[in-house]
Every structure is written in C-alpha cells, then in structure tokens.
C-alpha cells in the first residue's frame, strides 16, 4: 500500500489460505520483496513459511531471543531443545561426545554429528536428530520395530521402537513414500550427520 517502504511487516499473512494458494503466495511474496530490495519482518508460527520466505530467522520464546541464523542453520543446527522442537520435529537423545569430536555415543549407537561445538570427548550432552536424518539401510546400526505410520504424500512418518541398554526408545523417522511400510515391520537405518546437532541447553 505504501510506495517504496523501508520496512514491511507481515503478520501471519498466509494463515487463512488453502495449501495451493499458500505455496504460490510464499513464492510470490519472496520474489516481490527480493526484487524491491526491501526489508520485511515476517511473523509466523508456520515452519514452511519461515524456511521458504526468510533469509534470516529469529526464534523467540517469552520475549527472549533463543537463536538467530539462516533457515538452514536454524533447522540443521538448533542451539537448544526449544529451537529443535519448535522449528520442526526432532528426536532428543542423551549421549556422550565421542573421542573424534564428530560423533555422539547414544543408546541407539554412535551417531555421526557435524555440529558438536568442539566439545571434548566424554562430555554428557543432548543431541537433536531430525526425522530426515534416518536413512533405510539393511545393515544399519539403528534397528527398531514400526509401531505407527502416517502417509503424508511426500514422506511416510514412522514411529519406531528401538531397543537400548536401558529399555525402549521411541523415534520419529521419515521414509521415502516409494517404500511399502507396515506396522510390526523390523527396519534398520543409518544416520546422516547433516541433520544432527548437539544442543547446549
């Protein structure tokens, strides 16, 4: 409405749109703002809006700034448990940093981790593992039984029960929809390090 604004404030602009129109408007708004070279402050609770439109993301909780970074950094390397679970879904596991400083030893095995903050070996930590990190592998070191599946079109969301030394652990994993997954099936996975991060607090 205003010509050549210095800043544009967008407060939940897509909240009442259907899915197709919402996807179109994300692209359109991002293009218009980019072409105009205007700064936009975009307030939203929708993860897809956040990642699709933003160059830089600020995560707030109770008026406190929890983390600032690019959409990729916020999603791949959350700094704490709140950010990990607020910006998408994540498995939060206790563990111990490995001797190589590039892995975390957990109840489901030694997980490769690209974001350990350089912590020394043997430090007790929590690790965030995104559901996208799990990749089907017939000889993978993470094994579990499928307890629930939700078909989402572009992925199958699976609740997996994995045995650990201290009992049963429920994991949320995403599987490519070309796979036929049934409840009760026993599956194996390995973990991709790009979506694994040690969380500091």
**What's the pLDDT tens digit per position in 108-133?**
999 999 888 888 999 999 999 999 99
Give pTM, 2 decimals: 0.84
Most confident of 11-15, 166-170, 193-197: 193-197
What CATH number is given for 56-199 in this structure? 2.40.50.140
pLDDT per residue as tens digits for the range 43-84: 888 888 888 888 889 999 999 999 999 999 999 999 999 999
Listed as own residue / partner, the contacts of 158-164 with beta carbons closer than 8 Å and 24 or more positions apart are 158/187, 160/187, 162/107, 162/108, 164/107, 164/108
**Domain-wise residue ranges, the chain:** 56-199
Tokens representing 41?
A: 């402050």
CA distance 9 to 17: 18
Give yes or no for a contact between 69 and 83, defined as CB atoms under 8 angstroms apart.
Answer: no
């Amino acid at each position: 409405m205003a010509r050549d604004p210095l800043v544009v404030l967008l407060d939940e602009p897509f909240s009442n749109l259907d899915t197709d129109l919402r996807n179109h408007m994300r692209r359109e708004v991002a293009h218009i703002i980019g072409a105009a070279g205007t700064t936009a402050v975009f307030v939203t609770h929708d993860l897809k809006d956040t990642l699709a439109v933003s160059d830089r993301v600020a995560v707030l909780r109770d008026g406190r700034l929890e983390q600032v970074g690019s959409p990729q950094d916020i999603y791949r390397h959350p700094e704490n448990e709140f950010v990990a679970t607020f910006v998408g879904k994540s498995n939060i596991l206790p563990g111990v940093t490995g001797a190589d400083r590039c892995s975390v030893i957990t109840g489901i095995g030694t997980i490769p981790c690209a974001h350990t903050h350089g912590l020394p070996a043997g430090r007790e930590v929590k690790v965030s593992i995104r559901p996208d990190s799990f990749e089907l592998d017939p000889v993978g070191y993470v094994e579990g039984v499928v307890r629930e599946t939700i078909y989402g079109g572009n992925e199958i969301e699976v609740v997996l029960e994995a045995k650990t030394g201290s009992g049963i652990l429920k994991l949320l994993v995403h599987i490519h929809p070309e796979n036929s997954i049934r409840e009760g099936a026993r599956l194996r996975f390995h973990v991709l390090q790009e979506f694994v991060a040690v969380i500091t607090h």
